[in-house]
Structure 1
Amino acid sequence: MIEFAPYLLVLIGWQPADVDGSMTASQLLQPNQLECERAGERALVDSNGAYRRYFCLEAPTQHDIEEMWQEQKR
């Protein structure tokens, strides 16, 4: 079986004039790092004056998840 490890695009943002009332966070799965970076850049362009940052994180593999599960059981 070929393992597929997508990337997680995390977007955070807020309006500078109303930080407390406008904070947002969202996440989307992307098929690879390049697509994740492209989607993050598009989100910055489409920000409509909001302050935005994005992060691309490699999603954990099935092996990573199993290791974390085993650690939690100890």
Structure 2
Amino acid sequence: MIEFVPYLLVLIGWQPADVDSSMSVAQSLHPSAVACERAGEQALAENAGAYRRYFCLLAPTQQDIEDLWQEQKP
């Protein structure tokens, strides 16, 4: 099995006429930065009148999570 660190696509959207009650957030994992960017661009193209923004972030590794846990321990 080949391990990889996935990219996390975070998609934020809202309807301009009713921002407060129309905010939405979605996320998905992608195997590469290119795939993440493609999915983000596709989501923007399918906006259906909503404003959308997306961010592609490198998901934390197991070591990142363990390091954070060690920092947080009392």
Task: Please say whether Structure 1 and Structure 2 have the same fold, judged by a TM-score greater than 0.5.
Answer: yes
Secondary structure of 2:60's partner?
A: coil
TM-score normalised according to structure 2 size: 0.92
What pairs with 1:1-74 in structure 2 (closer than 5 Å)?
A: 3-74=3-74
Q: Which amino acid aligns with 2:14?
A: W
The percentage of counterpart residues that share the same residue type is 72
- Specify every segment of 5 or more residues in structure 1 that has no aligned partner in the other structure, as ranges: none
Aligned pairs, number: 74
The alpha-carbon deviation at position 21 of structure 1 amounts to 1.8
TM-score normalised according to structure 1 size: 0.92
State how far apart, in whole Å, the 1-side matches of 2:29 and 2:68 are: 21
